[in-house]
Amino acid sequence: MGHYVPILILAALATVFAVFSIIAGALAGPKRWNRAKLESYECGIEPTRQPAGIRFPVKYYLTAMLFIIFDIEIIFLYPWAVYFDKLGVFGLVEMVTFIATVLVAYVYVWRRGGLEWD
């Protein structure tokens, strides 16, 4: 249990800070309401109501899929990183091989225009 004490302290500090910021902002900040402030934030563009079942361009899916597949590969780095010193050269070579193969996929995506947003 002793190992988790620093994490608990960190979590408590984070919670206290978040709660304090919200409450302090609400109490100390000036309150001058106007119409534009109440609207949803859309990067300065006038918000427009869109029909139900709106479909996104397929580019979003492409980017999202590329993100997911490269992002999830990182998962294998965690166990390796934890035992990095004990796995030694063998672990390092394996991990370099692994990253090199992921890189091959990345190079393919990049060369074939998968990263271009035209």
Q: Which residues bind another protein (CB under 8 A)?
A: 58, 61, 65, 68-69, 71-73, 75-76, 78-79, 83, 86-88, 90, 101, 104-105, 107-108, 110-112
Amino acid of residue 36: A
Cβ pair 114, 69 in contact under 8 A: no
- How many of the other CB atoms lie within 10 Å of CB of 71? 9
> Smallest distance, Å, CB 48 to another protein?
24
> Smallest distance, Å, CB 104 to another protein?
5
Residue in 57, 37, 39 with CA at minimum distance from that of residue 48? 39
Nearer to another protein, 13 or 96 (CB): 96
